Amino acid sequence: MIRLPLVLMFSALLFSAGVYGVLARRNAIMVLMAIELMLNAVNVNLVAFSALLQQMTGQVFALFVIAVAAAEVGIGLAIVILLFRTRESINVDEVNLLKW
């Protein structure tokens, strides 16, 4: 019997930690980790409302979000490794080839 606002605040804390990580980190892998934190915050909300409404939709979409996160990390790390191979550095503020 958990009260809903507590779960939502836990999710808000995870999300704001992720926002800070995306904004403050230079290392591309650390930025990806912060994105994972934000995706987890969304999943906690989906599962909490699924339990509140006694419907399965939230849990199904949490599973879809986990699958999309796995795909995103795979592609992201491939890009990071390619970047390291060509630039010898994975700092996101040094990658400005496409910057206008």
Partner 1 sequence: MSAQEYAFVVLAVIGGLSAIAVVTSTNVVHAALYLVVTLLSVGGVYLLLGAEFVAWVQILIYVGAIVILFLFGLMLTKAPIGRDTLDNQQRWLGAIIGVGVFAGLVFLIQDAFPMQDAQAFEPARGTTDVVGEAIFRNYVLPFEAVSFLLLAALIGAIVLARKDDSS
Nearest to 28 by CA among 100, 84, 66, 96: 84
Nearest to 80 by CA among 68, 71, 92, 69: 92
Which one, 71 or 100, has the nearer CB to partner 1? Answer: 71
d(CA 75, CA 7): 31
What is the contact surface with partner 1 in residues (CB under 8 A)?
1-10, 12-21, 23-27, 29-30, 32-34, 36-37, 40, 43-44, 47-48, 50-52, 54, 56-57, 59-60, 62-64, 66-75, 77-82, 84, 88-91, 93
Least distance (Å) from partner 1 to the CB of residue 31? 10
Residues paired with 91 in a beta bridge: 27
Least distance (Å) from partner 1 to the CB of residue 96? 13
Which one, 93 or 100, has the nearer CB to partner 1? Answer: 93
Size of the chain, expressed as the number of residues it contains: 100
